[in-house]
Amino acid sequence: MSDIWKPSVTVAAIIERNGLFFMIEEETSEGLRINQPAGHLDPEESLIDAVIRETLEETAHDFTPAFLVGTYLSRYLSSRRGFPVTYLRFAIAGELGAAHDQPLDEGIVRTMWMSYDELVATRDRHRSPLILKCIDDYLAGIRAPLSFLYTDSSVTNPL
């Protein structure tokens, strides 16, 4: 492990339609969990590109980002790694697009629409404690323009 501390950067898609939220159910080292379409930022990728890619991989649907809901920092003790892991999550809300005929990412069991009450009732099965915080902020009307997520061309066009 490096002597330099670095958080794991992740993106999460908030997709709401008629009061329901588009979620995934996935197999994890801690069992079957509920999550937003989410995942890690890859090298040479913008945060916007990451949330579009992760949503497609985990749900087989296109995603059109509309705005940033928030950035969130959390830490938990990883049972798989045996040490604390810090996550920096960027929650981005947008519209669900066309479905594609492709398999879901490895470990994803299914997609599902859930009400807020259902999400609260299944809190013990959430992959991250940030899921409800992100949705609460979304429901509170927190919005920031995507321009807040600037990516310099040096990221996508490496030196």
pLDDT tens digit string along 51-95? 999 999 999 999 999 999 999 999 987 777 778 889 999 999 999
**CA angle, corner 31, sides to 99 and 63, nearest 5?**
20
How do residues 100-144 score in pLDDT, each as one tens digit?
Answer: 999 999 999 999 999 999 999 999 999 998 999 999 999 999 999
Q: How confident is the model at residue 1, as a pLDDT? A: 53
Q: How confident is the model at residue 82, as a pLDDT? A: 76
**CA angle, corner 48, sides to 46 and 50, nearest 5?**
70
CA dist., res. 128 & res. 101, Å (int): 28
Q: How confident is the model at residue 2, as a pLDDT? A: 61
Closest CA to 88 of 149, 33, 34, 29: 149
CATH code that applies to domain 14-149: 3.90.79.10
Q: What is the mean pLDDT of residues 8-33?
A: 96
- What are the residue boundaries of the structural domains of the chain, listed by start? 14-149
